[in-house]
Amino acid sequence: MNKSPCPESVGDLPNYIVESDSAILLMFGSEIVGTELSASVELLITETEPGIQGDRVSGATKPALLETGLNVQVPFF
């Protein structure tokens, strides 16, 4: 994915989109004033720690690194 600098106005959009996806950029003249992305996205988890045996019903989470470089919390699996 091309990691070109993005204007602040796109917010976190680069963390939730990969090259094959699309987004709508809302423009005012030549300035990006907002973005629209699908209600859900599918991203690959590239790194996470192994799950811990035990209570998986409690809603506990662990850190995971997504293909876009974003760190998120995911349920144990």
Q: 43-77, pLDDT tens digit by residue?
A: 999 999 887 666 566 778 899 999 999 999 998 87
Q: Quick one: 30 and 48 in the same domain?
A: no
Burial 34-51 (b: 16+ CB within 10 A, else e): ebeeeeeeebeeeeeeee
Q: Quick one: 47 and 66 in the same domain?
A: yes
Q: Quick one: 2 and 38 in the same domain?
A: yes
pLDDT, position 24: 85
pTM above 0.85, yes or no: no
Beta bridge partners of 45: 66
C-alpha to C-alpha distance for 61 and 15, rounded to whole angstroms: 20
Q: What CATH number does residue 56 fall under?
A: 2.40.50.140
Q: pLDDT > 70: what percent of the chain? A: 77
Q: Quick one: 36 and 68 in the same domain?
A: no
Residue 31 has pLDDT above 60, yes or no: yes
Residue 33 has pLDDT above 90, yes or no: no
Q: Quick one: 53 and 75 in the same domain?
A: yes
Q: Quick one: 56 and 26 in the same domain?
A: no
Would you say the C-alpha torsion 47, 48, 50, 55 has a positive or negative sign?
negative
**Domain housing 74:** 43-77
Banded pLDDT at 5 (limits 50, 70, 90): low
What average pLDDT does range 19-42 have in this prediction? 85
Domain count, the chain: 2
